[in-house]
Structure 1
Amino acid sequence: MSTGHDDLDAWKRRRTVELAFELADSGRYEDFTDVAYALQFERGMTTAQALIDDPEMRRVLNRRCADARDKLAPPPAPEVPQEETMPVVEAVPESSNDHAQLPRADDFARTPSFMRRALNFVWRSGNAGDLNSAAS
């Protein structure tokens, strides 16, 4: 009869479940696999995987992880309708085409994000005029 050992095992299981729920409820973990990893390798609980191998435990941990992440996510910003404004075009003398009209930042609003970032960088650095100059 080793009731002391059984009590210790029961306490370890209960503590592992409590800690797994705490980790899942923190919002820092994507799903049960992240929680199991944290328990095993960050907390040193080598028996955690056996507990988490239970399909019901996995389902509960996944739900708790998702709920916690949803609570931490910032609420979506309310959409504010923007007025459509006509672009202001500067008058450029017809006789001079030395410098093409430089694009404005809002010209990039519908371009893919990578292109937008690259073009905004060039625009902000003041080298946009160099893009239009031809080698003579």
Structure 2
Amino acid sequence: MSTAHDDFDAWKRRRTLELAYELADSGRYEDFTDIAYALQFERGMATAQALIDDPDMRRVLNQRCGDAREKLAPLPAPEAVAAVEAVEAVAQTSNDHAQLPQAGDFARAPSFLRRALATFTRSGNAGDLNSAAS
């Protein structure tokens, strides 16, 4: 009897992890907390939080969420592409020996940094940052 129970528990763990990966790869979730919520409350898997509450598992799920969202993100606007090309042109003609970041440098940055950079480049008006009520 114990073997059947152990097999069932192993199957539940495996199925929970498979679903967690599927949800992360869908691009609809921000991070592991959203996945834990979806598994627990939308899918009725009461033990999901405990199964994915491991630092390595959280890191993997967060990475997969970020990668999936980036694949679904729209291509950059032509203005952003032109700005990157202008920076590259300045970097190539500059006498300064300090090297400016290249487009490839941003591709290697963590996804949250790329999203933050994209947010500031898309906002267009830095004055909006100080518009909160005092």
Which consecutive aligned stretches of 4+ in structure 1 deviate over 4 angstroms post-superposition? Answer: none
Match of 2:5 in 1: 5
1:28-67: CA deviation from partner (whole Å, max 9, x where unpaired): 0000000000000000000101111111110000000000
In 2, the alpha carbon distance for the partners of 1:22 and 1:56 equals: 17
Task: Say whether residues 1:73 and 2:73 are aligned partners.
Answer: yes
Q: Distance in 2 between matches of 1:63 and 1:51?
A: 18
**2:28 counterpart of 1:18:** no
Matches within 5 A, 1:32-111: 32-79=32-79
Aligned to 1:27: 27
Superposition deviation, residue 77 in structure 1: 1.6
Rg larger in structure: 1
Secondary structure in 1 matching 2:33: helix
Shift of 1:78: 1.8
CA distance, structure 2, for counterparts of residue 47 and residue 17 of structure 1: 11
Q: CA RMSD in A?
A: 2.2
Number of residues paired by the alignment?
Answer: 86
TM-superposition CA deviations, 1:55-86 (whole Å, max 9, x none): 111000000000000000001022287xxxxx
* Residue aligned with 1:14, SS: helix
Q: Percent identity?
A: 81
2-side partners of 1:66 and 1:47: how far apart?
A: 24
2:18 maps to amino acid? E
Structure 1 residues not aligned, in runs of 5+ = 82-108, 114-136
Structure 2 stretches lacking a partner, 5+ long: 83-123, 129-134
